[in-house]
Amino acid sequence: MNLFDKFTTFIADKEPLLAIKPEIFGTPIEKMYSPTEASIGGRRILLAGTNNYLGLTFAPECLAAAHQAIDEEGTGTTGSRMANGNYTGHRELEREFAEFYGCKHAVVFSTGYQANLGTISGLAGAADVLLIDAHCHASIYDGCRLSGAEIIRFRHNDTTDLEKRLRRLGDRTGSTLVIVEGIYSMLGDQAPLSAMVEVKKSYGAYMLIDEAHSLGVLGKTGQGLVEAAGVTNNVDFITGTFSKSLGSIGGYCVSNHRELDIMRYLSRPYIFTASPSPSNIASARAALRLLKDGEHLRKRLWENANRLYSCMQEQGYRLGPQVGPVISAQLETTEQALALWTALIERGIYVNLIFPPAAPHDKPLVRCSLSAAHTPEQIEYLCSTFTDLASLARPLSQ
């Protein structure tokens, strides 16, 4: 055996794809013009795969806050939150997140990935059970593995299966953490949260929800699915990221349990990672204020999502079960997905190309994520282009 033997299969499968230009994995963006337009391959491209749901990456308030923070506090903290990286802004943002959700405690992490990694591994241990939705994000799976707890998956969005697995745990439910997401990042579907909360309460379990793709998108004030479902006070831990609706880098967890604050001293990803830079924190604070008062942004985002979803559905694209800002066309083969993605790029549209195992059901995806910053004209161009290319997405049996 050789250290590199495990790469042989990957190279054989992916090398032809790695040679494609523009690159389909980590497509180089040469210049940003706005939240919805950039230069790729020397051409002006419409961006429809950025997760920039509220379009705040160029908001004047966020830019000004970031500039001021760089001028006053420098480019980075050069230390972890447990050492010299615990600036006033980090604590203020934690206070503002706690206030935003009406919770007693909040912790800010360096990335959204680490929010899940650090929270889950800090809360759970070898004697505990983590009961997770099968479609949960990689950061959740990795946090579960790092914790050393027993990991049990339940069928995606299946409340009956969740209840069955809790019932089988017997008196262990008191040390069980149920983990779900608000909006799932690949197909854009939402957890049946109200029903799941009732189930976890009936068995005395705890619940964590990752609102990464639903923060700013759902709820009157943009809290996410917890607010839309009216269960904010019945979910034990809420995590999320700054890198979608807040247009920055970082992550958070909020809770009414004092143990979240104690977790700072137990969570290795929190203890041993440099804290977010002052500019990231400052822009996230500005964006959180805009998000909270951003009903007009959510209204525009959902208008855009409803328009594109209905158009693609009418054209026969196989989409996720719910309309939302994540709209994914499910294809049958790598070749079919690549043909559609390439045709979109040729027409000046960038979307995400997702292959298994990241794509559920072992089917590749061409994934769009819409923004409140997309204009009606841009949405209509997306609709007309997907209409023109609908034949590329038809089932091969037709």
Active site residues: 185, 213, 244
CA distances from 141 to 78, 306, 389 (A): 29, 31, 36
CA distances from 58 to 35, 65, 74, 287, 374 (A): 7, 12, 21, 10, 13
Structure letter (DSSP) for residue 90: H
Interatomic CA distance for residues 287 and 292, integer angstroms = 9
Task: State which H helix or E strand residue 256 sits in.
Answer: none
Listed residue (271, 287, 278) closest to 58, CA to CA = 287
> Which amino acid, residue 332?
E
CB 373 within 8 A of CB 52: yes
Interatomic CA distance for residues 58 and 154, integer angstroms = 40
Q: Cα-Cα-Cα-Cα dihedral of 195, 199, 202, 203, to 10°?
A: -160
Interatomic CA distance for residues 356 and 350, integer angstroms = 20
Verify cis geometry, omega within 30 degrees of 0, for the bond prior to 395. Answer: no
CA distances from 92 to 160, 212, 291 (A): 41, 21, 17
Torsional sign, CA 316, 320, 323, 329 = negative
> Which amino acid, residue 158?
D
CA distances from 105 to 82, 98, 157, 213, 219 (A): 17, 6, 28, 22, 21
CA distances from 111 to 27, 45, 222, 241 (A): 21, 28, 20, 7
Interatomic CA distance for residues 241 and 114, integer angstroms = 9
Interatomic CA distance for residues 243 and 396, integer angstroms = 37
> Which amino acid, residue 116?
N
The total number of residues written for the chain in this structure: 398
Interatomic CA distance for residues 306 and 300, integer angstroms = 10
